[in-house]
Copies of this chain bind each other. A is one copy, B any other.
Amino acid sequence: MDIKHYMQTLGSQARDASRIIAAADTALKNQALLAIAEAVSGGRDRLLAANAIDMQNGRSNGLEAALLDRLELNPERIDAMIEGLHQVAELPDPVGEVTDLQERPSGIKLGKMRVPLGVVGIIYESRPNVTIDAASLCLKSGNATILRGGSEAIESNRAIAACITQGLAAVGLPEAVVQVINTTDRAAVGELITMTETVDVIVPRGGKSLIERISADARVPVIKHLDGNCHVYIDERADRQKAVAIALNAKTHRYGVCNAMESLLVAESIADKVLPELAALYADKGVELRGCEKTCALIKSALAASEADWSQEYLAPILSIKVVAGLDEAIEHINRYSSRHTEAIVTEDRERAERFIREVDSSSVMVNASTRFADGFEYGLGAEIGISTDKIHARGPVGLEGLTSQKWVVYGDGQIRQ
């Protein structure tokens, strides 16, 4: 198989299909989503059989338990895929909206129209449900998609691709609107991320090393986040009860997620009131604490944090804690060490809250709320295609709107430049 030629064929087919899906109206796109849901529903047995092969291969190849868990399809997960398709069909369609209409002194009427990006390449690991999630969001936002899942999931993904193709065909859309790369050859990824003529954006989903590799080699723009080193700062003027509840929830609600708190900052003047109480609660949950000198003086069980701890995304029951002089030091620490994902302040002081909001340079900045709210569903985007910690285009959870951009539209009546 000539991978370069194969990928370029996928690319030019996607480019052609992107014109058609971009011009499709909302009703047709929703019909396609529901037709895919029906195909998935009707294809349950084939999906489970295909997945059983992947699972068998995974076990033979010694895949670790966590990866096998992600790889597995079962009836509940297939139901969730179907439910997800229905939910995306319910979401408002961002495409075609014209905003900021104004008449210019020249007499032209100027506005901005929301339009699809074009062709979106998605690279992910071994969760087969991502195939449906990503395809449905791209389809609803009027984009063509090229999907590349983990090689461990190849049989599951082929079976899902067949359902998608069936659904698209049922409503008369070209099958190249969603294409699943049908090879496990790694060279396919190298091609996909450099096809600037036919691919408009790459969304990598998965571990940090995957995303770093892709970002380093991509020529196509990438929407990504590398990690989530999220902070909660408990201000001197915090409500203690809220502070304790938020700091506990942000760390312990789930450990392996990118919006979990990894570092807690506490104003010096209230550290002796808040930290011992929190330490007891964290101890109950088995959270290991790594603190600065002042923290260790207040919490006997805390280990000494090293410089590396301040930058670390643990994704585990571990928390670094630093006592800071106040708001200024908190903001400075966060802007220095944070991965720009999500940070929260707990305070009853409005001015300090506003300063935190304005000056902390992260994709989500919160007052008196748990960092765990930084999420497409919680934000009302429906599902998210990913989270961006970059500064251009979209920041934070990226939903349908993040898969579009705006072009300028001009309505004239024969105007020419003088």
- Give chain A's interface residues, CB within 8 Å of chain B: 19, 22-23, 96, 102, 104, 106, 108, 110, 113, 115, 117-118, 200-201, 216, 219, 221, 223, 239, 241-242, 245-246, 248-250, 253, 335, 344, 353, 357-359, 361-370, 372-374, 378-380, 390-397, 405-417
Contact = CB atoms under 8 A, between A and B. Distances in A.
A118 B373 CA distance: 25
A106 B405 contact: no
B201 A411 contact: no
Contacts of A408: 363-365, 374, 379, 395-397
Q: Report, nearest first, the 4 A-B pairs whose CB atoms are least far apart.
A: A369-B412, A249-B416, A242-B414, A372-B417
**Identical copies in the complex:** 2
A253 B414 CA distance: 15
A253 to B, nearest CB: 5
A332 B104 CA distance: 30
B378 A405 contact: no
A22 B359 contact: yes
Contacts of A102: 380
Given A19-B361, A367-B410, A368-B414, 8 more contacts: A106-B378, A108-B369, A117-B391, A221-B392, A364-B407, A365-B409, A372-B417, A391-B405
A416 B245 CA distance: 7
Dominant SS at the A interface?
mixed
A402 to B, nearest CB: 9
Nearest to A111: B357
A365 B115 CA distance: 12
B414 A359 contact: no
Contact of A415 (B369, B379, B390): B369
10 contacts: A19-B359, A113-B365, A117-B392, A201-B392, A364-B408, A366-B411, A367-B410, A369-B413, A373-B417, A393-B405
Given A19-B361, A378-B104, A405 B395 contact: yes
Contact of A395 (B364, B380, B407): B407
Contacts of A414: 239, 241-242, 245-246, 368-369
Contacts of A365: 113, 407-410
Contacts of A253: 416-417
Contact of A200 (B221, B392, B407, B415): B392
Contacts of A396: 407-408
A369 B407 contact: no
Given A373-B106, A391-B200, A391-B405, A357 B415 contact: no
